[in-house]
Chains A and B, each alone.
Chain A
Amino acid sequence: MLSIAKINHLSARDHWQLLAAFICALTLLIVDEQTQLMGQLRSILTTLVQPIEQIARIPELIINQHNQAINDQANLQHEVNRLRNQVLLLSYEKQQAAKLEQENERLKMLLGVSSQLNKGKLVVSLVVDHAPNPFKQILNLNKGSHDGVSVGMPVMDAHGMMGRIITTSYTESSLMLITDTDAQIPVTIRRTGDRGILQGNGNNDTLNLKFLPSSAQVRAGDLLETSGIDGHYPAGLAVAQITDVQAQAGAIFWKITAQPLAKLNTSREVLIIFPDQPKTNDNTTLPISNNAPVTSTDDQSIKIPSQEAP
């Protein structure tokens, strides 16, 4: 029989182990919270736990496949995917055109704006699932470091900016949405050019615009676009629309609420914006010109070549 002492007694070794593990965990937590040093470690660990994620997705996949079986004509699905990809790219070009038009109207130059995006490439990625963490707003995408995706790359859908990549594994990456409480994007009001910081508040459909002086002219309906001054997000991409403006007594800043333009909860196909030449292993990708038809490698991945700013 096990003695009571044996069961309840924690030896000195047990205490030392507990203390060591506690210190390790606390150190890890502080370093991860305060620095960017854990990116590589997290990337490796994410790749290691990928099988768990993939098994956990099986029930969802079965449900999705069951739903998809209603429209099981393969050709039809193929065509739908191709058209979706085309819509994405056209929407992107439309946004770019709108930006340039506004620039001309205001006769302003947003420094380095036009060229930044045009130097890059876009990769269409699928949203695999979301992380079931009520404190985070994170989506998992089906492109990883193998496809050239790296931490910090911005992601958008057909309607606007969605967020940026925070973790990559070999085959997948994680996208922190702009609504996450840790997300902050420097933005400008498209109409006036006033600058502020757009901050997530954890809600799916609202954002807070901070640090916009109460002297700035702003009104509900104004569009917010990335200013590009942080170096993370290219300038000129639509992010949100202002829904509410309130003056605060004695405060020097407006209290502004905005709504994301991107369909954060429903978009399945998203565009990962490569800031420069992507380090991709996909040799089958065919470059296309600005006016050439959209080419798709696997119905989900599209890349466009460098374009010169008009």
Chain B
Amino acid sequence: MIFSAKKHPHHSHQRHWVIWLTLLLGLIVDRINWPSDWALIIPNLTPLILFYWVIAIAQRNFVVTATVIGIAHDVLFHSNLGAYALIYLLLIYPLLHMRLQLRNTTLFQMSLIVGFWMLIHQGLIWLINLGKSPNGHELTFWLSALTATLLWPLLFISLRSLRKAMHVH
């Protein structure tokens, strides 16, 4: 079990702005025009960060968060308004239903789940673009699910440390 369900005694300060801040950072990192060689090893961070918070914070349903971040993503990346909001809503729905099971998995198991989840994420992006080819980035596009799997432990540990340090619950 990699999550602690212990309720923090100082729950009066929920500090949910930390969640927004991390998602904002995710958007910034995703928006950076990385050199093409690096693009392969940098998957989309925003959905991964959203994944973490949905699992970690049981008291929130993250519907508004997913919608707002999705629309911001649409504007930043010039996709049709609502496209990413729809994708994020579709993606968090199963997470909301399986939070407990996911919280009880090992880090390795969760990495694999994250990889599969990101594969669905990429599939939804592909579908919403009406099956167009991600020009020149076909391999990178689908492989980012794998790199997300590899990156997950590091991201998970970082976000958990932040959550504990900032008493976000």
Binding site for B on A (CB under 8 A): 1-2, 4, 6-8, 10, 14, 17-18, 21-22, 24-33, 38, 41-42, 45-46, 48-49, 52-53, 55-57, 59-60, 129-138, 166-167, 174, 181, 202-204
Q: How far is the CB of B34 from chain A (nearest CB, A)?
A: 8
- Give the number of residue pairs across the A-B interface with Cβ within 8 Å: 142
Q: B61 contacts which chain A residues (CB < 8 A)?
A: 10, 14, 17-18
B53 to chain A, nearest CB (A): 14
CA distance A14 to B27 in the complex (A): 25
Chain B residues positioned under 8 Å from A134 (CB to CB): 134-137, 140-141
- Do A56 and B135 have beta carbons less than 8 Å apart? no
Determine which of A17, A25, A132 lies in contact with B33 in the assembled complex, contact meaning CB atoms within 8 Å: A132
**Beta-carbon contact of B82 and A28 below 8 Å:** yes
B interface size (C-beta, 8 A): 53
Chosen A-B contacts, 6 in total, with CB atoms closer than 8 Å, are A10-B61, A18-B61, A29-B86, A33-B80, A41-B81, A134-B137
B77 touches A2 (CB 8 A): no
| Docked pose: A2 CA to B31 CA in angstroms | 37
Considering only CB atoms, which chain B residue lies closest to A166 in the complex? B78
Bound-state Cα–Cα, A156 to B137, Å: 26
- Please determine whether B24 and A52 come into contact, CB atoms closer than 8 angstroms: yes
Residues on A with C-beta less than 8 A from B79 are 133, 135-136
Given that A4-B100, A8-B97, A25-B89 are known contacts, is A38 also in contact with B28, CB under 8 Å in the complex?
no
Check B78–A133 contact: CB distance below 8 A.
yes
Asked whether, in the complex, the Cβ of B72 is within 8 Å of the Cβ of A49, the reply is yes
Using CB atoms, name the residue of chain A closest to B71: A45
Contact B5 A130 (CB under 8 A): no
18 extra interface residue pairs, beta carbon distance < 8 Å, beyond A2-B7, A32-B80, A53-B31: A2-B5, A14-B63, A22-B86, A22-B90, A24-B67, A29-B86, A32-B81, A52-B27, A52-B28, A53-B76, A56-B29, A56-B32, A57-B32, A135-B134, A135-B135, A202-B133, A204-B135, A204-B136
User: Is B70 positioned at the interface, with any CB of A under 8 Å from its CB?
Assistant: yes
Q: How far is the CB of B100 from chain A (nearest CB, A)?
A: 5
Is B66 an interface residue when CB atoms closer than 8 A count as contact? yes
List, in ascending order, chain A residues with CB within 8 A of B58's CB.
2, 6-7
B99 interface contact, C-beta 8 A = yes
* A25 near B96: Cβ-Cβ < 8 Å: no
Q: Which residues of B contact A31 (CB under 8 A)?
A: 81
Let me know if B31 and A21 touch, CB within 8 A: no
When C-beta atoms are compared, the residue in chain B nearest to A43 turns out to be B75
Interface residue B85 (Cβ < 8 Å from any Cβ of A): yes
Give the CA-CA distance A33 to B80 in the complex, in Å: 6
Q: Which residues of A contact B64 (CB under 8 A)?
A: 17, 21
Closest to B5 in A: A2
The interface bits of chain B over 1-45 (1 if a CB of A lies within 8 angstroms of the residue's CB, else 0) are 000011100000000000000001001111111100000000000
Q: B103 in the interface, Cβ–Cβ < 8 Å?
A: yes
- CB under 8 Å from chain A, chain B span 78-137: 78-83, 85-86, 89-90, 93, 96-101, 103, 125, 128-129, 132-137
Docked-complex contact A25 and B134, CB < 8 angstroms:
no
A45 to B82, CA, bound (A): 12
B82→A59 contact, CB < 8 A: no
